[in-house]
Amino acid sequence: MRANVAAYIAARDGGDPADKDAVFLTNGASDSVKNILEMLVRGPTDGVMVPTPQYPLYSAALTIMGARRVSYGLLEAEGWGVGVDDWEAAHAAAVAEGTTVRALVVINPGNPTGKVLSLAGMEDLVRFRERHTLVLMADEVYQVNVYAEGKAFTSFKRVVQSLGSPVELVSFHSTSKGMIGECGLRGGSMEVVNFHPHAMDVFYKAASVSLCSSIPGQAAMDVMVKPPVEGEPSFALYKQEMDATYDALRCKTAKLASVLNTLPGIHATGRNETGRAVRKRAARRDRRVCRTWVGLWESARNLPHPHYLPANRGCDGTDGQPDARLPSELYEEIRGGGRRVGRGTCGEGRSSRSQTFGG
């Protein structure tokens, strides 16, 4: 199975070889992230650079470990990109406070921003990491969830190798995102690059403490990285199901952006850019935070259910006519076994699952 994951990584990275012995099968990305953090963090003055906004696994794990979170801001004005100046400033401030910064986390494609990093941004990040002695933790669990025209995922492994960089990199993948979305089976993998052999021994020793990762999860990972190929009997059905799921997720991304744009004070501009990012500029300011959110809450309560907004035409299989009913009325209808919400083209596949904001 590890050989299959390595072959998948090599194919994804344009043929750059991947070593199966550098691949670990894991119980999803959460476990491997926590394990790596536990190995890196030695005490309360150690810290890890984490983006803001972030997926809260990182802040929560660091808090439990009693370690420091060193925040670096994502640049909202640049579609939630990354900036060298901000890393340098965040790093310098942390060091000045007595923090030993051990690692830098990057989530690409981003959650919750949806941002797909540019190659230039990724190269900057690798060079920043070279200037400081940090492990690069690349959370790449959304690597196939790229919906924007002209955007493509590039792995940090590829960037590190193309730069000939010695950066110590750990890259995380999972079965709980992508197209198969098998969250409950807890499957994932982690590739460890450029580490000293002694460090690799420690990784193996630490992984061995848990004997092995979940076998159903390993099988799910294997299926995900080694799908049916053209000419095999199940290929046509596989492709049909994958395409339908992908289209449904892309459709929901656009739908979510259009619904967010109907809320006062919130702006979302598109897919994999700021599309899934919620801009709360006004809400960040001093006492207006409270007023804004109270206002939002009131407005949201009075909006027709998003599924019924005209912006969904062609996306949800309805006639596209706005429905003036309030969420509470729709709720009653749904509870009473009436028309189901969330079906149609956009509702097929994983209709109730949150793709961007967590499994």
Ligand X SMILES: Cc1ncc(COP(=O)(O)O)c(C=O)c1O
Binding residues for ligand X, rule: CB under 6 A, are 28-30, 55, 57, 107, 111, 139, 141, 174, 176, 183, 188, 358-359
Cis peptide before 327 (omega within 30 of 0): no
Among residues 13, 300, 318, the alpha carbon closest in space to that of 143 is found at 13
Task: Sheet with 46-52: list strands edge to edge.
Answer: 23-26, 188-193, 169-174, 135-139, 100-107, 46-52, 68-73
Exposure string of 9-39, with b = 16+ CB inside 10 Å and e = fewer, is beebbeeeebeeebbbbbbbbbbbbbbbbeb
Please state whether beta strands 68-73 and 135-139 pair in parallel, antiparallel, or not at all (unpaired).
unpaired
Other Cβ atoms closer than 10 A to 44: 11
Smaller CB distance to ligand X: residue 173 or 307? Answer: 173
188 beta partners? 26, 174
Q: Which CB atom, from 71 or from 111, has the smaller least distance to ligand X?
A: 111
Helix axes 28-40, 57-65, angle to 10 degrees: 40
Toward ligand X, which CB reaches closer, 79 or 344?
A: 79
Quickly list DSSP for 79-137.
Answer: TSB--HHHHHHHHHHHHHTT-EEEEEEEESS-TTT-----HHHHHHHHHHHHHTT-EEE
Report the 10 Å Cβ neighbour count for 155.
22
- Decide whether 255 or 276 has the Cβ nearer to ligand X: 276
CB of 201 to ligand X, least distance (A): 25
Question: Minimal distance in Å, beta carbon 162 to ligand X?
Answer: 24
Query: Tokens representing 85?
Result: 């100046």
Distance of closest approach, residue 185 Cβ to ligand X, in angstroms: 10
Q: Is 57 helix (H, G, I), strand (E, B) or coil?
A: helix
Nearer to ligand X, 52 or 234 (CB): 52
CB of 354 to ligand X, least distance (A): 8
Give whichever of 175 and 292 is closer to ligand X, judged by the CB atom. Answer: 175
Three-class SS of residue 191? strand
CB of residue 276 to ligand X, shortest distance in Å: 11
User: Is the CB of 29 or the CB of 257 nearer to ligand X?
Assistant: 29
CB-facing half-sphere around the CA of 138: CA atoms within 13 A: 29
Please, what is the minimum distance in Å from the beta carbon of residue 172 to ligand X? 7
Length of the chain, in residues: 359
Give whichever of 111 and 154 is closer to ligand X, judged by the CB atom.
Answer: 111
Residue (293 or 357) nearer to ligand X, CB: 357
φ, ψ of residue 69 to 5 degrees: the values are -95, 125
CA distance 97 to 107: 25
